[in-house]
Amino acid sequence: MAARPPRPKPAFTRNLKLEKDVPPPFANFAKYVDPSGKLNFAGKAVLHADGVDFSSGNSYKINMAELELREELGKGQYGVVQKVFHKPTKVIMAMKEIRLELDTGKLSQILMELDVLHKSHSPYIVEFYGAFFIESCVYYCMEYMDAGSLDRLIPYKNGVPEDVLSRIAFSIVSGLRFLKDELKIIHRDVKPTNVLANSKGEIKLCDFGVSGQLIQSLAKTNIGCQSYMAPERIAMSDNAAYSVASDVWSLGISCLEVGSGKYPYPANRYDSIFAQLNAIVHETPPDLPHDRFGPEAIDFVRQCLQKDAKARPTYAELIVHPFILKYQDHADEIDMAGWVQGALEWRQAHADELHQLKNGGGGTGAGSSPSSPASNHGKGFGLPNSLRDMMFGRRQ
Ligand SMILES: Nc1ncnc2c1ncn2[C@@H]1O[C@H](COP(=O)(O)OP(=O)(O)OP(=O)(O)O)[C@@H](O)[C@H]1O
Ligand SMILES: [Mg+2]
């Protein structure tokens, strides 16, 4: 009998490299794992109080009872991110708590929408393992990135060297492109706290707007300093106007911060949040430092930070920008893991200073607490209309 032809890979994984040298995290849990080593959730998610069941094909559910809480990894606007140990699989995960006052129907819809993540794999996106809810909290379990987010690593040497920035920019653009092309998703919250690194030197995106319902639910409670937002988002009252180009702006601001080690519009330079937002909307954005970055890197950021959203490059254009191509051919020689290691050691050696900065509110982005009033970290989806009108006049 003729051998069966191999099953075609789903379209979205066809062009992606899978890690070959690392055993998949669920290798010891074969019953639930497909041959690629990924959890296979075929069919629709079914929600119940203990977790999420995926009704057909292989199924797997995660619930709180199976998790052992380890240390806190960080705090965001909606809750805590904790390192957890999933006892049945022995996999370390990051669990994000999102506090929401929602009815069961909305929670159910959020989890159904999150299901799309089970079907998506990219080396530039953190893996999603599962979610469940308890009372008014959604718990979202994802790949644990052992070096944390970029904001924690960039105080080291006042920002990353040019070759490392090029690889980080490549990873972010690749991740954003994957979300857009394969999942039809706009990230909506690109910033250094949402770009994670691990000790292998991999860079991956998290916290993208996969769930429209979740975005809507969060938006209601989310007002504050929104410093990674594109000028058109700050100045316009209609959130529906959000487009990919706004993420490209946020990518530019993030590259500027990661390259220079500093958030480019620090709160302590402005008298008020209005003055700060006004600068974002009206002033020419700063360049990457000319003494450490070449013309290609400077141009990459300038292109992203054009005030006219339509003039900003697409991901297809950015991925072949001279700043990306400059390091593409010898990407393997760039010691990303070494840079991550150096940054982690630096953090450990400066733990006391960083702790003080966090509690005192440094306000430079790097090392400042997301919850401190002086923090510049972007918070949100929109200014209240009254404030926006006051600052920028109503736009139709
Ligand atoms: N998968 C992960 N692995 C390791 N650390 C993580 C992971 N996800 C998040 N973190 C850490 O937890 C912190 C808090 O994350 P969270 O998404 O709640 O807030 P944020 O992104 O810092 O800010 P905001 O709430 O304004 O979006 C992050 O800054 C990051 O350092
Ligand atoms: Mg985040």
Alpha-carbon distance of 343 to 153, in angstroms, equals: 5
For residue 395, is pLDDT > 70? Answer: no
Residue 369: how many other CB atoms lie within 10 Å? 18
Q: Does the pLDDT of residue 383 top 70, yes or no?
A: no
Higher pLDDT, 162 or 98: 162
Q: Which residue has its alpha carbon closest to ligand 1 atom 12?
A: 74
**Which of 42-51, 81-90, 118-127, 345-354 is least confident?**
42-51
pTM over 0.95: no
Ligand 1 center to 173 CA (angstroms): 20
Catalytic residue, chosen from 115, 151, 189, 247, is 189
Closest C-alpha to 234, from 295, 178, 201, 275: 275
For residue 236 the two structure tokens come to 């316009």
Which residues have CB less than 5 Å away from ligand 2 (the ion)? 193-194, 207
Q: Distance between CA atoms of 224 and 56, rounded to whole angstroms? A: 43
Q: Which CATH fold would you assign to the domain 32-143?
A: Phosphorylase Kinase; domain 1 (3.30.200)
Q: Which atom of ligand 1 is nearest to the CA of 96?
A: 18
Q: Is 189 a catalytic residue?
A: yes
| Residue 166 reports pLDDT greater than 80 | yes
Higher pLDDT, 116 or 178: 178
Kindly state the DSSP code that residue 283 receives in the 8-state scheme: S
Considering only CA atoms, which residue is closest to atom 23 of ligand 1?
76
- For a substitution probing ligand 1, which of 75, 78, 81, 263 has the most ligand atoms within 8 Å of its CB? 81
Query: Would you state the pLDDT for residue 369?
Result: 34
H or E segment and range at residue 253:
helix 244-260
Mutate to test the pocket of ligand 1, among 70, 71, 73, 83 (most ligand atoms within 8 A of CB): 73
Which is the closest atom of ligand 1 to the Cα of 80? 18
Q: How far is the CA of 249 from the centre of ligand 1 (A)?
A: 21
* Cα–Cα distance measured from residue 300 to residue 234, given in angstroms and rounded to the nearest whole number: 23
Question: Please, what sign has the CA dihedral across residues 298, 301, 304, 305?
Answer: negative
Give the Å distance between the CA of 290 and the centre of ligand 2: 30
Mean pLDDT, residues 135-160: 91
State which H helix or E strand residue 73 sits in: strand 67-75
Lowest mean pLDDT among 95-99, 162-166, 244-248: 95-99
Write out the two tokens for 92: 């370390």
- Tell me, using a 6 A CB cutoff, whether residue 93 lines ligand 1: no
The per-residue pLDDT for 153 is 96
Q: Give the model confidence (pLDDT) of 4-57 as tens digits.
A: 555 443 333 333 333 344 444 444 444 444 343 333 333 333 433 344 444 333
Is residue 191 predicted with pLDDT exceeding 70? yes
The confidence score (pLDDT) of residue 380 equals 34
How many CB atoms lie under 10 A from the CB of residue 348?
9
Residue 375 CA to residue 364 CA, distance in Å, equals: 7
Most confident of 23-27, 227-231, 235-239, 260-264: 260-264
Q: What is the pLDDT of residue 283?
A: 95
Nearest CA to ligand 1 atom 15: 76
Mean pLDDT of the chain: 76
Calpha distance 95→204 (Å, rounded): 16
Does the beta carbon of 372 sit less than 6 angstroms from any atom of ligand 1?
no
Binding residues: 96
Ligand nearest the Cα of residue 193 is 1
What would the mean pLDDT of 64-91 be, rounded to a whole number? 88
- In CATH, the architecture of 148-351+363-390 is Orthogonal Bundle (1.10)
Which atom of ligand 1 sits closest to the CA of residue 144? Answer: 3
Q: Are 137 and 82 in contact (CB under 8 A)?
A: no
- Show me where the domains of the chain are located: 32-143, 148-351+363-390
pLDDT tens digits for range 60-74 = 567 788 889 999 999
State residue 69's pLDDT score.
93
Q: Return binding residues for ATP.
A: 96
pLDDT for 310: 94
> How would DSSP label each residue in 172-229?
HHHHHHHHHHHH-------SGGGEEE-TT--EEE------HHHHHHHHHT--S--TTS
Per residue in 269-313, pLDDT tens? Answer: 999 888 999 999 999 999 999 999 999 999 999 999 999 999 999
Q: Which ligand ends up closest to the CA of 74?
A: 1
Cβ atoms of residues 258 and 150 within 8 Å:
yes
Which letter does DSSP use for residue 22 in this model?
S
